[in-house]
């Protein structure tokens, strides 16, 4: 035909008839109505395939922010997120599986020594991790400081490595909970990130789809954590434990302190170096304490509570698994790690006792030095970050170095110092020591 073409009914592609109107679901939820199982299944599926528009899903997310989701409603929401993609199956492995998820913090390098440690005890660890955004560091960013190491593995490579080595830390594939990936990006730009039901379903849909037999959650609380108050952290932990248990995954949670940075480093290569120290039998006491606490929970959940992980740090077997894990992903565990070209120190102004050191301030400083990113596509500097020379409770002298700032770009020092204004206090009284693990929820 020429001129204006017309399509006959037979030529015109059929538009799928949807069983619900999303506006009805938005209005109902806004008034406090419970979404039925069928409505939840439909809206997650329809959004994933584009039949529900971003602005409609953002309106529904905002209604959930104000009204919430009932426990069974949230369980169905999470199940629908899982059903949007594939679910991995590790039942064919020769050993049980257990995984750990942290809600993120400053200096949180625990996954690096933890995965090989638990594997050395006879439990496979399929650790699907992410990259950092803002002041919290990403596990993949840390490991990519190791020359040659690669994050992207196929499912077949992942399974083979779990069988041969016992541990894998890698990027999650696009097939796991694609509904969550799409919804998370939407929440990030619509002011609906900090909604506990949506946080819980986001985390747990990916972890359950991952296929692990048991899961230990490290829910951090304090200035450097996503959850600033113990009440919010507890609510999130209880919600996630309920979702995991409801899906048939043995799930427990530890509430852990994030008022002060973990360990003595915040930054990618700096944290890898510290993790290797832990695997060698040394390292900061708080990192060792939390690594062993999480390892014991993972082993108990997987039915191997008879093994003491401290023995595997002492005899070098955890280090052997670390090296094998890095080599399996084309990294060189013996290579020299990157170091920043420039350093600057922050010193104590007076004599006394370091009373506090704010985790958020240290995290922001490390981010501004180049260790983190503001947008997911931003590059990071492998050697950038903050090194701590004292922790709360330590006696310090005027002029003593408290922090060393590391970066390749010295013009970043000024803004990093600004972030550290008021970040620490020096007094005359030793603060009461609080253990890293604050509570356990099962």
Closest of 385, 390, 387 to residue 413, by C-alpha: 385
* Residue 239 backbone zone (phi > 0: left; psi -120 to 50: alpha; other: beta): alpha
d(CA 427, CA 436): 22
76, 95, 101, 312: the catalytic one is 101
d(CA 60, CA 392): 44
Q: Is 100 helix (H, G, I), strand (E, B) or coil?
A: strand
Q: Around 374, how many Cα atoms within 13 Å sit in the side-chain half-sphere?
A: 3
79, 108, 141, 180: the catalytic one is 180
76, 95, 206, 220: the catalytic one is 206
d(CA 317, CA 41): 46
214 included as an active-site residue: no
Q: Is 152 helix (H, G, I), strand (E, B) or coil?
A: coil
58, 84, 129, 202: the catalytic one is 202
202 included as an active-site residue: yes
Q: Number of helices and strands (H, E) in the chain?
A: 16, 13
d(CA 168, CA 139): 12
Q: How many of the other CB atoms lie within 10 Å of CB of 18?
A: 11
95, 131, 187, 220: the catalytic one is 187
String of b and e for 207-220 (b: at least 16 CB within 10 Å)?
bbbbbbbbbbbbbb
CA distances (Å), origin 255, targets 209, 287, 294, 308, 435: 24, 15, 11, 22, 11
d(CA 213, CA 229): 30
Q: 34-43: long-range contacts at Cβ-Cβ below 8 A with a sequence spacing of 24 or more? A: 34/70, 34/73, 35/69, 35/73, 35/76, 35/77, 37/76, 40/73, 40/76, 40/77, 40/80, 41/76, 41/80, 41/83, 42/18
CA distances (Å), origin 201, targets 140, 175, 191, 205, 207: 22, 17, 17, 6, 10
Backbone angles phi, psi at 303, to 5 degrees: 85, 20
d(CA 80, CA 57): 15
394 included as an active-site residue: no
Q: How many of the other CB atoms lie within 10 Å of CB of 311?
A: 12
d(CA 29, CA 23): 10
DSSP 244: H
Q: What are the catalytic residues?
A: 101, 180, 187, 202, 206
């Amino acid at each position: 035909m020429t001129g204006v073409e017309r399509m006959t009914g037979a030529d015109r592609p059929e538009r799928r008839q949807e069983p619900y109107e999303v506006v009805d679901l938005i209005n109902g939820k806004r008034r406090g109505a419970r979404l039925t199982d069928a409505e939840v299944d439909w809206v997650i599926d329809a959004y994933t395939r584009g039949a529900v528009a971003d602005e409609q899903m953002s309106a529904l997310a905002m209604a959930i922010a104000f009204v919430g989701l009932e426990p069974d409603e949230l369980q169905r929401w999470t199940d629908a997120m899982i059903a949007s993609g594939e679910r991995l199956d590790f039942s064919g492995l020769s050993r049980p599986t257990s995984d750990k998820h942290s809600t993120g913090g400053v200096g949180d390098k625990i996954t690096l020594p933890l995965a090989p440690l638990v594997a050395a005890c006879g439990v496979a660890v399929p650790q699907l991790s992410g990259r950092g955004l803002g002041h919290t560091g990403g596990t993949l960013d840390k490991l990519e400081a190791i020359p040659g190491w690669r994050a992207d593995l196929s499912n077949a490579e992942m399974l083979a490595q779990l069988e041969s080595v016992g541990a894998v830390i890698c990027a999650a594939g696009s097939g796991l909970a694609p509904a969550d990936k799409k919804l998370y990006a939407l929440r990030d730009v619509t002011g609906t990130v900090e909604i506990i039901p949506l946080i819980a379903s986001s985390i747990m849909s990916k972890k359950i789809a991952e296929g692990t037999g048991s899961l230990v959650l490290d829910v951090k609380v304090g200035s450097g954590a996503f959850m600033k108050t113990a009440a919010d952290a507890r609510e999130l932990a209880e919600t996630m434990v309920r979702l995991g248990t409801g899906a048939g995954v043995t799930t427990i949670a530890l509430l852990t302190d994030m008022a002060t940075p973990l360990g003595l480093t915040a930054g990618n290569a700096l944290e890898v170096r510290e993790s290797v120290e832990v695997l060698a039998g040394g390292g900061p006491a708080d990192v060792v304490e939390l690594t062993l606490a999480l390892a014991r929970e993972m082993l108990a959940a997987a039915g191997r509570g008879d093994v003491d992980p401290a023995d595997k740090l002492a005899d070098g077997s955890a280090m052997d698994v670390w090296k094998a894990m890095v080599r399996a992903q084309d990294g060189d565990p013996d290579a020299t790690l990157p170091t920043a070209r420039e350093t600057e120190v922050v010193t104590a102004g007076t004599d006394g006792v370091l009373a506090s050191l704010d985790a958020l301030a240290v995290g922001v400083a490390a981010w501004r030095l180049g260790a983190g990113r503001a947008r997911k596509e931003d590059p990071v500097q492998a050697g950038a970050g903050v090194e701590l020379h004292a922790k709360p409770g330590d006696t310090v002298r005027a002029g003593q170095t408290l922090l060393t700032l590391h970066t390749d770009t010295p013009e970043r020092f000024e803004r990093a110092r600004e972030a550290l204004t008021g970040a620490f206090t020096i007094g005359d009284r030793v603060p009461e020591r609080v253990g890293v693990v604050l509570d356990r929820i099962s």
